[in-house]
Copies of this chain bind each other. A is one copy, B any other.
């Protein structure tokens, strides 16, 4: 049952990633269950979205762990992080867009923790001289989210290949578009 719920959540994530306005009925269909059963797992659409958010936070946390942000050069950590984000980028993009609605609402404190960890990574990079200091960690974090969302949508629309996801984002985020003489 707990397994069922998780699978339903996964398929809901996959669907809502592509069509964020999908009906509960469509979500149920996509999961291969009836609307009644879907409603037995999640009291309503709000509950479903909140569960999705919890899942997203969870996955993000795992990605942060797997990326070992404290180890080695910060730039390598960023590269690992983006690589870990790739499988959940669609879900992240959905939640990123969704969160723009909850203006003042109680921002699930889980995101604050995620934000803090990523910002800390950028700060570490600044402090050891890897990253420039005229761009705030908060903005770099925000930009990372934006690029991940953009990348996810580009992949979904087939404009770019999944295998290029990590490269494109990391290269742009760290290196920028300008051509360099050295290295």
Using CB atoms and an 8 Å cutoff, list the residues of chain A in contact with chain B: 18-21, 75, 78, 97, 100-101, 103, 122, 125, 129-136, 138-140, 142-143, 145-147, 149-151, 153-154, 157, 159-160, 168, 171-180
- CB pair B101–A140 under 8 Å, yes or no, is no
Q: Which residues of B contact A171 (CB under 8 A)?
A: 134-135
- CB pair A160–B139 under 8 Å, yes or no, is yes
- CB pair B142–A154 under 8 Å, yes or no, is yes
- CB pair B154–A139 under 8 Å, yes or no, is yes
Of A75, A100, A135, A138, which is in contact with the most chain B CB atoms at under 10 Å from its CB?
A: A100
Q: Jot down 23 A-B pairs with beta carbons below 8 A, ordered by A.
A: A78-B177, A97-B97, A97-B100, A100-B153, A122-B177, A129-B179, A131-B177, A132-B175, A132-B177, A132-B178, A133-B179, A135-B172, A138-B160, A139-B168, A142-B150, A142-B153, A142-B160, A146-B149, A146-B151, A172-B176, A174-B176, A175-B178, A176-B177
Complex CA distance for A84 and B17, rounded to whole angstroms: 31
Who on chain B is nearest to A125 by CB?
B177
Complex CA distance for A23 and B161, rounded to whole angstroms: 38
Complex CA distance for A101 and B97, rounded to whole angstroms: 12
Complex CA distance for A171 and B134, rounded to whole angstroms: 9
Complex CA distance for A129 and B21, rounded to whole angstroms: 44
Who on chain B is nearest to A175 by CB?
B176
Who on chain B is nearest to A100 by CB?
B153
